[in-house]
């Protein structure tokens, strides 16, 4: 059979198409699209310069390339899902303009999209994840962006009808209430506590109690680092409370907590994503998309906690600090550990 | 002038565990010794590392306890991270769970956190205000010396501490090596190490095991 030489443009298209599913090495891409290693390497360089792909995981010998797309952490979605997301976002923006005479903000757009995706009548196969402010569509939504309304899927009218109802239902709720409603609906204690902590005006006993509750609700499954780091922060804040006035350091404490939350929320994204059968290869999701972000957020949180520890150390005085009555039974068990 | 004191980590931990609300003679002895401050306190970097590790292992014990609270069928000491704990520490975590399990999860966390807070404050206060001088950076610990001691002592961490003490002793006036370790640093075990021919060129600090005083 005569072999037809593909144009560079065609190979570029094929590379991008192949990267839709998951990151691939040059060798894997070359095999997948049937073009030679050198050409693929050259075109990947071009695509990288144009901001269409990026290197994800690299070892000494192999580089993996990932397509840059408008989802969180460039996690792949199918083209059909992308079109449905865009249609959904455009409908929500339109409905907000029609019913509320304004654009939705980012939270309203995301929460309305999630409500539509989870609507039993629609049965949309669109991935959602838990992240910083609750459940959101995996595709990044931006109310300032112009989303075309030219979707022609067979369920287009049904989606439109449901979105219109949801926006009407959300009519009297602001973004904060929508977010809170979602935490309640899914009984996400960790998110409710996160809100309580970050909105604390006075860092008193109640605040310390919320931190303890937050620690209990911290995810423990197969990821003890999250718990250990959270406990480190909770103990540091408690130590600071013992030697100084917490309110004096309110901003730094809350910023440190937020830094830790970014790490925890990225883990929540990973955990919720891998519950979806489309992303059930847990190791692959971790390796290609979330290992680096988790590491960066962990390092940032550690750095911020260390800064707070140095504040506590500067306040620590050379005097006896007596063990609280509440902790005596714990100490009784542990007091002979090293004697 | 009174001899300086080189403190083993167990003395500092025992001092930090002391509370007047709990009767524990060893902790009281260490507390009284540390507070009496007869002379300068020396602490080596390896001991500082051991103290950090001790605090970190506490967090792993708490992790195990909270896993059990969340899921009563969980067996303490079976997670990957719990492999970092000694058998004694796993047993302590189990005992602690048994003692606390009838409290609400919120109360249990509060108790664990408050206990850790006090312990960590005591250790950090010692490092900040009571210890006088930090000696022998970890990278300066003589590997060969450690391996000789290793043949006489079965605990690698203790070998590093003793090696640090020996290295510090070579450059200073005689000092005390203060410990409460009754297994590796009791008077006869210490004498046995001192008599090792390959260590004959080393000046040994005088042993002060508080358990024998």
Question: Which of B109, B111, B124 lies nearest to residue A215, judging by beta carbons?
Answer: B109
What does the pLDDT read at residue A338?
63
Q: Hunting for tokens 């130590």 — which residue is that?
A: A239
Interchain proximity A209–B106, CB inside 8 Å: yes
Model confidence, pTM = 0.91
Residue A339 has pLDDT above 70, yes or no: no
CB of A232 less than 8 A from some CB of B? yes
In angstroms, the CA A68 to CA A96 distance is 29
Residue-wise pLDDT for A139-164, tens only, equals: 999 999 888 888 888 889 999 999 99
A189 interfaces chain B, CB cutoff of 8 Å: no
Matching CATH number, A8-68, of 3.20.20.70, 3.40.640.10, 3.30.470.20, 1.10.10.10:
1.10.10.10
Q: Measured between beta carbons, which residues in chain A are less than 8 angstroms from residue B56?
A: 228
- CA atoms within 13 A of residue B10's CA, in its CB half-sphere: 23
The domain ranges of chain A are 8-68, 74-185, 189-318
pLDDT of A3 reads 60
Is A333 close to B63, i.e. CB distance below 8 A?
A: no
Query: Which residues on A lie below 8 Å from B80 (Cβ)?
Result: 224
Q: Answer whether A224 sits within 8 Å of B117, measured CB to CB.
A: no
Return the domain boundaries, chain B. Answer: 5-212
What is the predicted ipTM? 0.94
Structure tokens given for B168: 């510090």
User: Do A158 and A122 contact (CB within 8 A), yes or no?
Assistant: yes
What pLDDT is stored for residue A5 in this prediction?
79
Residue A310 forms contact with B (CB below 8 Å) = no
| pLDDT at position A252 over 80 | yes
Using a CB-CB cut-off of 8 Å, the residues of chain B touching A207 are none
A134: alpha, beta or left, given left = phi > 0 and alpha = psi -120 to 50?
Answer: left
Which of B10, B24, B89 comes nearest A335 by C-beta?
A: B24
Give the residue from chain B lying closest to A321, CA to CA.
B118
Whether residue A4 has pLDDT greater than 70: no
What pLDDT shows up at residue A2? 52
What mean pLDDT value characterizes chain A?
A: 92
**CA–CA separation, A114 vs A44, rounded Å?**
35
Give me the mean pLDDT over the A296-307 stretch: 97
A182-207 per-position pLDDT tens digit? 999 999 999 999 999 999 999 999 99
Q: Which of residues 205-224 of A touch B (CB under 8 A)?
A: 209, 212-213, 215-216, 220, 224
pLDDT of residue B198: 95
**B82 Cα to chain A: minimum distance (Å):** 10
With CB atoms and an 8 Å threshold, state whether A216 touches B14. Answer: no
The alpha carbon of residue B94 is apart from the nearest alpha carbon of chain A, in Å, by: 10
A18 Cβ neighbours under 8 A, 6+ residues apart: A24, A29, A32, A33
Q: Which residues, other chains included, contact B156 with Cβ-Cβ below 8 Å and sequence gap of 6+?
A: B150
**Quick one: tokens of A74?**
């460039």
Report chain A residues whose CB lies below 8 A from the CB of B28: none
Q: What is the mean pLDDT of residues A279-306?
A: 94
pLDDT at residue B36, rounded to an integer: 94
Structure tokens given for A195: 């809100």
Chain A CA closest to residue B105: A216
A–B interface: beta-carbon pairs under 8 A: 147
CA distance B105 to chain A (A): 7
CA distance B153 to chain A (A): 18
Angle at A323 between CA A319 and CA A325, to 5 degrees: 145
**Three-state DSSP class for residue A175:** helix
Comparing alpha-carbon positions, the chain B residue that sits nearest to A217 is B70
Q: What is the DSSP string of chain B?
A: -PPPEEEPHHHHHHHHH--TTS--HHHHHHHHHHHH--S-EEEEHHHHHHHHHHHHHHHHHHHHHHHHHH-TTPPTT-SSGGGGS-HHHHHHHHHHHHHHTTS-HHHHHHHHHHHHHHHHHHHHHIIIII--EEE--GGGS-HHHHHHHHTT-S-HHHHHHHHHHHHHHHTSS--EEEE--TTTSSHHHHHHHHT-GGGTTSPPPEEEEGGG-
- B149 touches B162 (CB < 8 A): yes
Q: Please, which pLDDT band fits residue B122 given cuts at 50, 70 and 90?
A: very high
Distance from CA of B166 to the nearest CA of A (A): 23
Per DSSP, the residues of B49-80 read HHHHHHHHHHHHHHHHHHHHHH-TTPPTT-SS
Alpha helices in chain A (DSSP H): 8-18, 26-33, 37-49, 79-100, 106-117, 156-169, 175-185, 189-198, 205-217, 224-243, 250-273, 282-285, 291-315, 328-334
Calpha distance A252→A250 (Å, rounded): 6
């Amino acid at each position: 059979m005569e072999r037809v030489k593909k144009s560079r443009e065609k190979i570029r298209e094929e590379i991008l198409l192949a990267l839709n599913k998951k990151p691939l090495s040059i060798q894997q891409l070359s095999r997948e699209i049937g073009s030679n290693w050198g050409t693929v390497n050259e075109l990947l360089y071009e695509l990288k310069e144009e901001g269409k792909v990026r290197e994800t995981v690299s070892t000494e010998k192999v580089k993996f390339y990932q397509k840059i797309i408008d989802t969180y952490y460039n996690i792949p979605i199918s083209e059909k899902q992308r079109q449905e997301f865009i249609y959904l976002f455009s409908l929500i923006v339109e409905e907000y303009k029609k019913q509320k005479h304004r654009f939705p903000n980012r939270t309203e757009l995301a929460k309305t999209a999630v409500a539509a995706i989870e609507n039993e009548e629609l049965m949309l196969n669109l991935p959602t994840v838990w992240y910083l402010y609750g459940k959101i569509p995996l595709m990044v939504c931006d109310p300032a962006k112009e989303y075309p309304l030219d979707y022609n899927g067979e369920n287009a009218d049904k989606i439109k009808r449901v979105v219109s109802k949801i926006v009407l239902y959300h009519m009297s709720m602001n973004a904060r209430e929508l977010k809170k409603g979602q935490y309640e609906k899914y009984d996400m204690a960790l998110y409710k506590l996160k809100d309580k902590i970050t909105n604390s005006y006075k860092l008193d006993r109640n605040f310390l109690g919320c931190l303890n509750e937050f620690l209990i609700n911290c995810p423990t499954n197969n990821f003890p680092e999250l718990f250990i780091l959270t406990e480190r922060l909770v103990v540091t804040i408690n130590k600071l409370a013992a030697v100084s006035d917490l309110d004096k350091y309110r901003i730094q404490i809350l910023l440190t907590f937020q830094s830790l939350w970014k790490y925890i929320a990225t883990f929540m994204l990973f955990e919720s994503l891998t519950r979806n059968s489309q992303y059930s290869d847990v190791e692959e999701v971790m390796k290609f998309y979330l290992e680096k972000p988790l590491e960066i957020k962990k390092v940032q949180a550690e750095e911020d906690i260390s800064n707070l520890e140095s504040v506590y150390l500067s306040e620590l005085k050379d005097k006896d600090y007596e063990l609280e009555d509440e902790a005596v039974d714990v100490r009784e068990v542990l007091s002979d550990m090293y004697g | 002038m009174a001899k300086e004191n080189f403190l083993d980590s167990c003395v500092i931990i025992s001092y930090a565990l002391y509370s007047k609300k709990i009767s524990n003679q060893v902790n009281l002895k260490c507390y009284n010794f540390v507070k009496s401050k007869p002379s300068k306190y020396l602490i080596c970097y390896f001991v500082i590392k051991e103290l950090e590790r001790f605090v970190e292992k506490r967090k792993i014990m708490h992790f195990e306890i909270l896993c059990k609270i969340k899921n009563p069928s969980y067996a303490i000491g079976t997670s990957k991270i719990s492999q970092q704990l000694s058998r004694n520490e796993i047993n302590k975590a189990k005992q602690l769970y048994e003692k606390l399990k009838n409290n609400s999860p919120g109360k249990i966390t509060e108790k664990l956190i408050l206990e850790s807070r006090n312990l960590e404050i005591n250790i950090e206060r010692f490092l900040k205000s009571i210890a006088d001088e930090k000696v022998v950076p970890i990278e300066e610990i003589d590997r060969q010396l450690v391996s000789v001691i290793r043949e006489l002592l079965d605990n690698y961490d203790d070998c590093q501490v003793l090696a640090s003490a020996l290295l510090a002793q070579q450059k200073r006036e005689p000092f005390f090596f203060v410990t409460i370790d009754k297994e590796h640093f009791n008077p006869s075990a210490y004498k046995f190490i001192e008599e090792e021919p390959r260590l004959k060129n080393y000046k040994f600090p005088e042993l002060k095991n508080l358990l024998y005083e």
